[in-house]
């Protein structure tokens, strides 16, 4: 028996070695050009979408990260605050009423004063580009109410979005506000998200530049309060790998006529209607917590995510929360696997999978149809590469693109089916036509 296995090994190992070398070469090329748009669109995104699904199904570990509480302006909140008309349309225009933001901050301040559990930061995900009247010349009563609340002393930081060169709070000629900004008690952060060509959101911009000043993304700003700070000079808006977001869905835990409560599949992330009584939340959950306040009602703030990853469409505030949880999980940005280690993994996987199948088929003398053999190889290699990719992501916080070696492996094996060289040439020509079609159309 051992002699038969040895015989099959020597019979097939050179072919398996050649296939492994070709596959490793293609992986090396793709790895080097991962940030090229074509590679991103047709190789990186698909493989990460599938890995995201695999990650969600097989990764239910609880992480030692701060609690993230997302309070949203949804239909329940708007009804409670009389901000919906008879047609269930918001009664305010583009700008969400600033006095409602002030009231939420006051509500939070009063509650944490009672329970003596202080959050770390409050992120208010509403645009503050302009005051609500007179092109920033004067403040409306709503604006002034918000400013008065912001000027009150508190032990946590407040973050506002920076979306434009202009920001009426940042540019306000008020010495108290300017002192709070100087002492980083009020911070302005960018909130840019990247939309791929298929209209799916998968990444964030780590920073944006306004008036020659760089503003770090809000999730990174918050992450830097808890971990070794990610320095802006080490961030790259064009990096396809580092700026990825791992998405997890919400589960509806409690819903009634007054408010909604959702538990994310990220263990420490919860979402509530903003009108929920804060005393219904465990007091200790507020200690060093991260509070988000923003809208989920506006239809123009919905980001499409229901692609291959099977995730529901999210609002902007949900995207930001998932980006933050991704940073916490990875303890920073996602890094690509070391190129040498990646090539070794691809080479060994190709070589042993190909050789194993060939030896088993030869040893058992099974007369399988070549197409059945190809199908077995396809399933076997795909599962192994996906498991390896997920293991590397979970255990080492690194990204290993499994789809490219998988596709290359199958193309190589499929060409081996054709004994007639004419068929092989036709197959290669067909593949080139498909490739050109993808490239230019």
pLDDT by residue (tens digit) across 375-404? Answer: 777 788 888 888 888 888 888 888 888 877
d(CA 408, CA 199): 27
Residue 151 confidence class, pLDDT cut points 50, 70, 90: very high
Reported as type and span, the H/E element at residue 176 is helix 175-182
Q: Are residues 80 and 195 in the same domain?
A: yes
Q: Which domain holds residue 91?
A: 68-330
Q: Which residue has the higher pLDDT, 15 or 285?
A: 285
Q: Are residues 99 and 211 in the same domain?
A: yes
Which whole number is the average pLDDT over 204-217?
A: 92
Q: Are residues 365 and 386 in the same domain?
A: yes
Q: Are residues 119 and 183 in the same domain?
A: yes
Q: Are residues 320 and 227 in the same domain?
A: yes
Q: Token match 């992480």: residue?
A: 63
Report helix, strand and coil shares of the chain as percent, to nearest 5.
50, 15, 35
Q: Are residues 286 and 385 in the same domain?
A: no
Q: What percent of the chain has pLDDT over 90?
A: 37
Contact 191/197 with Cβ under 8 angstroms? no
- Final residue in a domain of this structure, among 330, 346, 362: 330
Q: Are residues 111 and 235 in the same domain?
A: yes
The residues with which 272 forms a beta bridge, in sequence order, are 71, 261
CA 310 to chain centre: 13
Reported as type and span, the H/E element at residue 23 is helix 2-32
Contact 34/26 with Cβ under 8 angstroms? no
- Final residue in a domain of this structure, among 330, 353, 386: 330
Ramachandran category for residue 132: left, alpha or beta (phi over 0 → left; psi -120 to 50 → alpha): alpha
pTM for this predicted structure: 0.85
Burial (CB count within 10 angstroms: exposed 0-12, middle 13-18, buried 19+), residue 192: middle
What pLDDT digit, counting tens, does each position of 354-374 carry? 777 766 665 555 555 566 767
Buried b (16+ CB within 10 A) or exposed e, 94-128: ebbbbbbbbbbbeebbebbeebebebbbbbbbbbb
What is the Cβ-side half-sphere exposure of residue 415, based on CA atoms within 13 angstroms? Answer: 17
Nearest 5°: the CA angle 78, 80, 85 is 55
Answer yes or no: is pLDDT of 210 > 80.
Answer: yes
Contact 72/320 with Cβ under 8 angstroms? no
According to DSSP, the β-strands at 290-295 and 68-73 are: parallel
**In the prediction, which pLDDT does 131 show?**
84
Residue 294 confidence class, pLDDT cut points 50, 70, 90: very high
Q: Are residues 207 and 123 in the same domain?
A: yes
Helix and strand element counts for the chain (H, E)? 13, 16
Q: Are residues 49 and 89 in the same domain?
A: no
Which whole number is the average pLDDT over 134-150?
A: 86
- Final residue in a domain of this structure, among 269, 303, 330: 330
CA 105 to chain centre: 28
Residue 436 confidence class, pLDDT cut points 50, 70, 90: very low
What pLDDT digit, counting tens, does each position of 398-408 carry? 888 887 777 77
Residue 424 confidence class, pLDDT cut points 50, 70, 90: low
Least-confidence region, from 71-85, 251-265, 310-324, 410-424: 410-424
Alpha helices in 186-260 (DSSP H): 218-223
Q: Are residues 26 and 134 in the same domain?
A: no
Q: Which residue has the higher pLDDT, 211 or 433?
A: 211
Answer yes or no: is pLDDT of 279 > 70.
Answer: yes
Answer yes or no: is pLDDT of 320 > 70.
Answer: yes
Name the domain count of the chain: 2
Q: Are residues 361 and 410 in the same domain?
A: yes
DSSP one-letter code for 326: H
Q: Are residues 22 and 42 in the same domain?
A: yes
- Whole-number average pLDDT of the chain: 81
3-state secondary structure at position 196: coil
What pLDDT digit, counting tens, does each position of 154-186 carry? 999 999 999 999 999 999 999 999 999 999 999
Which whole number is the average pLDDT over 8-37?
A: 69
What pLDDT digit, counting tens, does each position of 70-113 carry? 999 998 999 999 998 888 888 887 889 999 999 999 999 999 99
Q: Which residue has the higher pLDDT, 272 or 53?
A: 272
């Amino acid at each position: 028996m051992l002699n038969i296995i040895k015989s099959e090994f020597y019979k097939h190992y050179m072919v398996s070695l050649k296939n492994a070398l070709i596959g490793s070469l293609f992986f090396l090329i793709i790895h080097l050009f991962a940030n090229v748009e074509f590679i991103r669109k047709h190789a990186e995104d698909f493989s990460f979408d599938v890995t995201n699904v695999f990650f969600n199904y097989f990764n239910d570990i609880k992480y030692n990260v701060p609690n993230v509480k997302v309070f949203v302006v949804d239909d329940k909140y708007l009804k409670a605050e009389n901000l919906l008309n008879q047609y269930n349309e918001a009664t305010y225009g583009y700008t969400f009423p600033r006095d409602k933001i002030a009231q939420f901050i006051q509500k939070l301040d009063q509650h944490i004063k009672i329970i003596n559990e202080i959050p770390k930061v409050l992120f208010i995900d509403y645009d503050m580009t302009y005051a609500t009247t007179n092109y920033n010349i004067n403040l409306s009563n709503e604006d002034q109410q918000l400013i008065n609340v912001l000027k009150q002393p508190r032990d946590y930081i407040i973050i506002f979005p920076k979306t434009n060169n202009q920001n009426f709070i940042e540019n306000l000629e008020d010495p108290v506000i300017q002192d709070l900004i100087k002492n980083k008690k009020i911070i302005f952060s960018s909130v840019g998200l990247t939309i791929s060509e298929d209209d799916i959101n998968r990444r964030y911009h780590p920073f944006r530049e306004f008036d020659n000043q760089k503003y770090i993304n809000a999730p990174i700003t918050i992450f830097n309060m808890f971990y070794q700070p990610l320095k802006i000079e080490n961030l790259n808006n064009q990096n396809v790998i580092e700026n990825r977001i791992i998405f997890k869905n919400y589960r509806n835990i409690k819903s009634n006529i007054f408010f909604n409560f959702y538990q994310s599949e990220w263990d420490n992330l919860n979402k509530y209607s903003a009108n929920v009584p804060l005393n219904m939340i465990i007091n200790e959950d507020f200690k060093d917590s991260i509070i988000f306040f923003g809208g989920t009602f506006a239809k123009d703030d919905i980001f499409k995510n229901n692609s291959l990853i099977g995730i529901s469409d999210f609002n902007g505030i949900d995207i930001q929360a998932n980006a933050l949880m991704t940073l916490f999980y990875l303890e920073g940005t996602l890094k690509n696997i070391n190129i040498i280690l990646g090539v070794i993994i691809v080479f060994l996987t190709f070589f042993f999978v190909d050789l194993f199948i060939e030896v088993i088929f030869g040893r058992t003398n099974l007369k399988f149809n070549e197409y059945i053999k190809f199908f077995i190889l396809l399933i076997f290699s795909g599962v192994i590469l996906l498991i390896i990719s997920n293991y590397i992501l979970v255990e080492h916080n690194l990204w290993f693109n499994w789809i490219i070696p998988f596709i290359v492996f199958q193309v190589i094996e499929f060409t081996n089916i054709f004994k007639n060289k004419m068929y092989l040439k036709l197959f290669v020509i067909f593949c080139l036509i498909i490739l050109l079609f993808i490239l230019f159309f």
